Structure 1
Amino acid sequence: MALAVRAKRRVEALLAEAGVRIGGDRDWDLQVHDGRLYTRVLAQGSLGLGESYMDGWWDVRSLDGFLARLMQARLDRRVHGLGEVWDALEARLLNPQSRRRSGEVGRRHYDLGNDLYSAMLGRRLVYSCGYWRDADDLDAAQEAKLDLVCRKLRLRPGMRVLDVGCGWGEALKFAAERYGVSGVGVTISREQAEYARGLCAGLPVEIRLQDYRDLDEPFDAALSIGMFEHVGVRNYRTYFEVMRRCLPEHGLFLLHTIGSNLSVKRTDPWIARYIFPNSMLPSAAQITRASEGLFVLEDWHNFGTDYERTLAAWRANAEAAWDRLDPRYDERFRRMWRFYLSASMATFRCRRSQLWQLVLSPGGVPGGYVAPR
């Protein structure tokens, strides 16, 4: 009993630093349903916080607002579970994104079901940040993003384009229809590959279930949208070497990725267990170090603040669709998914994470490169 009391007092003191009260009446105040929460969070850190929410041990009216306050007070960097020690050791000694383990995220996340993603992502199945500069809704923001990518790559009719991590094929479909290109898309998700082949039927687009490391053929341009987060720091150099060998001297490569302000070698324990196994966010230093000597960095565009708006639209779509979806998405799954989207919103709101689009060329664009915005 004494341990539980001390744990509660410790959690109350930590939350007070973030301006959060237990049992308070503000949108970000915590409502606790199970007193075991305090010892669990102190023992397990972010993993315990996320799992206890999934288990219904606590609630809050504004989940993203609550999590943002924790991040702004840096509480997530002060409370660590014992399991994080092993995670850090594993990341240091092993390669979590090895060829043998690379398919795990496809099976556990992207193969969850196209019904869920169709409900959440809008008219186009584009699972990455929209570009909201001149857009008023999610569909317009995603179309603007796809068009921005094509313009940055200077696509022209007849070009052959590579899409690494092609998802459900929307980017290649857009490029083929609007810019007259042909292309090859690779993914490690069977569900995505099957859907993308149907989506791109009748277009000069080939979809492959293939690891990016096996690519070795010529293309005029290449893009990778929302896939680099699964490559891992031990494989960054190999990734850029693959892209380099597939492009001509004056070809362009666009890398669209979430980025971290800090160089790390692993992801958050809860995210790793429930959402994106074997993932990690790259830092600017890690990207430039891995691409050094292979590419000229022509442009670096950060529109990370657009991701919170994208995530909010996804969350609203998902919440509105639950009752229409398969019963396998039970209440615990719904709470898991809500926590994932809300935590991601908080991360971008606090500017912990960024959204970068880099344009790189093997030999430099003659006369220089001017990027569209």
Structure 2
Amino acid sequence: MAVGSQHSASLDHLSKLAATAGVTINGDAPWDLRFKDIKAADRILAQGSLGLGESYMDGQWECDQIDEMIARLLRHRIDDEVKTASTLWHVLRARFVNNQSRAKAWEVGEKHYDLGNEFFRDMLDARMTYTCGYWDNASTLDEAQEAKLDLVCQKMGLKPGMTVLDIGCGWGSFMRFAAERYGVQCTGITISKEQAEYGQKLCEGLPVQFVLQDYRDLTGQYDRIVSLGMFEHVGRKNYRTYFEAARKNLKDDGLFLMHTIGGKVRDHDPDPWIHKYIFPNGEIPVIGQVADHTEGLFLIEDLHNFGADYDKTLMAWHANFEKHWDKHASQYSERFYRMWRYYLLICAGSFRARDNQLWQFVLSPNGVPGTYRRPKL
């Protein structure tokens, strides 16, 4: 068969799949995918998610609203129609290999979080909070992030003088907020040298300490523990170890709040494009895995899902990224620009489709006397 006819067959098949989700190949709607190089159809069908992302990075297709295109495709499960050998490899690798071992745990810090403090400062809110905001009564990113931080503090019942451990503290936005507003003492651990150094400067004068450390090496006793957006880097092989570390370092009458992205299906496929370009060795948990691995260690006092708010948060980050790109363009390549834009928009689309969730678990070692009551939100 001639190369041209092979491409036509691939394009026809892809067009039929996309049409079921209301996406027209080479159509005029803002969520339609427009090919600049017809070879991209072959790459997408042969490599699924990886082919879709890499062909966009290489400039082989365009779409005005990638977020909405992805949301439509996911709602109609088009991703299930394009399963590849590459995807199967990632599934098996996650199931049988510990991708988040001590040796590999630092990779995401070096590859993702050490991209540059100014880059993230321009993309995120004023406090540099790199997790989902809480938009119930917020109209701006800054308001949504402050509302989320305050929500966490209220759920944990923080009081002046308490000691708080932040596992995966980022640039310290939570610790700074909690120390300023609630008068607590905070220790945060991170695997990013850039975050630790920059965060310590931002928290100067506050009872806040940053430690460059793996969670498996934690020691101490704390009144409260919080972990915002770090559990996605732990991996199924290490879930029990993670919760054991938290329990060991939490006082018997303490509370542990864990904020994490979550999936809908236990044996879901780790996304090969995200793994290769954005979050090496990342893995999204499901509720059953959290329940399994906290058994005998913690009681789940409260579970709160506000995953749709991550769509708004990611779109706000994308707007900031676009607004400030010219400032960073000389430091990064055009391919990086397309990669980062694609990352933010496909993630927004996944939350819009409710394919991904955002959970906050409140856990206690022995159960709160009487009962735990979530603060009025």
Q: TM-score, structure 2 length as denominator? A: 0.97
Question: How far has the Cα of 1:326 moved from its partner?
Answer: 4.8
Residues of 2 paired with 1:300 and 1:358: CA distance?
A: 5
Q: Which letter maps to 2:174?
A: A
Residues of 2 paired with 1:328 and 1:284: CA distance?
A: 40
Secondary structure of 2:222 counterpart: coil
Identify the residue that residue 188 of structure 2 maps to in structure 1.
Answer: 185
Change (3 A) 1:266 1:7: closer
Secondary structure of 1:100 counterpart: helix
Structure 1: which 5+ residue stretches go unaligned? none
After superposing on structure 2, the runs of 4+ consecutive aligned residues of structure 1 that deviate more than 3 Å are none
Task: Tell me which of 75, 80, 84 is aligned to 2:83.
Answer: 80
CA deviation digits over 1:106-146, x for unaligned, max 9?
00000011111101102110000011111110001101111
CA deviation digits over 1:139-169, x for unaligned, max 9?
0110111111111111111111100000001
Matched, 1:226 2:229: yes
Identify the residue that residue 149 of structure 1 maps to in structure 2.
Answer: 152
Query: Percent identity at matched positions?
Result: 54
Identify the residue that residue 129 of structure 2 maps to in structure 1.
Answer: 126
Q: Which letter maps to 1:14?
A: L
Residues of 1 paired with 2:85 and 2:332: CA distance?
A: 30
Secondary structure of 2:131 counterpart: coil
Matched, 1:10 2:13: yes
Task: Tell me which of 30, 39, 42 is aligned to 1:39.
Answer: 42
CA deviation digits over 1:286-312, x for unaligned, max 9?
000010111111110111111111111
Q: Which letter maps to 2:270?
A: T
Secondary structure of 2:238 counterpart: helix
Question: How far has the Cα of 1:277 moved from its partner?
Answer: 0.6
| Correspondences of 1:332-343 after superposition (within 5 Å) | 332-343=335-346
Change (3 A) 1:179 1:123: same
Matched, 1:101 2:85: no
Task: Tell me which of 114, 118, 123 is aligned to 2:117.
Answer: 114
| Correspondences of 1:1-373 after superposition (within 5 Å) | 1=3, 2-264=5-267, 267-372=270-375, 373=377
Residues of 1 paired with 2:98 and 2:204: CA distance?
A: 37
Question: How far has the Cα of 1:21 moved from its partner?
Answer: 1.6
Indicate conservation of the 8 Å contact 1:265/1:280, yes or no.
no
Residues of 2 paired with 1:284 and 1:92: CA distance?
A: 17
Secondary structure of 2:262 counterpart: strand
Residues of 1 paired with 2:308 and 2:33: CA distance?
A: 26
Question: How far has the Cα of 1:69 moved from its partner?
Answer: 1.4
Q: Which letter maps to 2:360?
A: Q
Indicate conservation of the 8 Å contact 1:254/1:357, yes or no.
yes
Residues of 2 paired with 1:40 and 1:217: CA distance?
A: 51
Q: Which letter maps to 1:362?
A: P
Question: How far has the Cα of 1:89 moved from its partner?
Answer: 2.5
Residues of 1 paired with 2:346 and 2:108: CA distance?
A: 19
Q: Report the number of matched residues.
A: 373
Secondary structure of 1:251 counterpart: strand
Question: How far has the Cα of 1:356 moved from its partner?
Answer: 0.6
Indicate conservation of the 8 Å contact 2:232/2:282, yes or no.
yes
Question: How far has the Cα of 1:53 moved from its partner?
Answer: 0.5
Question: How far has the Cα of 1:266 moved from its partner?
Answer: 5.3
Question: How far has the Cα of 1:265 moved from its partner?
Answer: 6.4
Q: TM-score, structure 1 length as denominator? A: 0.98
Residues of 1 paired with 2:55 and 2:72: CA distance?
A: 18
Residues of 2 paired with 1:353 and 1:248: CA distance?
A: 32
Residues of 1 paired with 2:267 and 2:190: CA distance?
A: 25
Residues of 2 paired with 1:309 and 1:88: CA distance?
A: 29
Q: Which letter maps to 1:334?
A: Y
Secondary structure of 1:174 counterpart: helix
Q: Which letter maps to 1:95?
A: N
CA deviation digits over 1:317-358, x for unaligned, max 9?
000110012512221111111111111111111111111111
Indicate conservation of the 8 Å contact 2:125/2:145, yes or no.
no
Structure 2: which 5+ residue stretches go unaligned? none
Indicate conservation of the 8 Å contact 1:226/1:256, yes or no.
yes
Residues of 2 paired with 1:142 and 1:101: CA distance?
A: 30
Residues of 1 paired with 2:310 and 2:90: CA distance?
A: 27
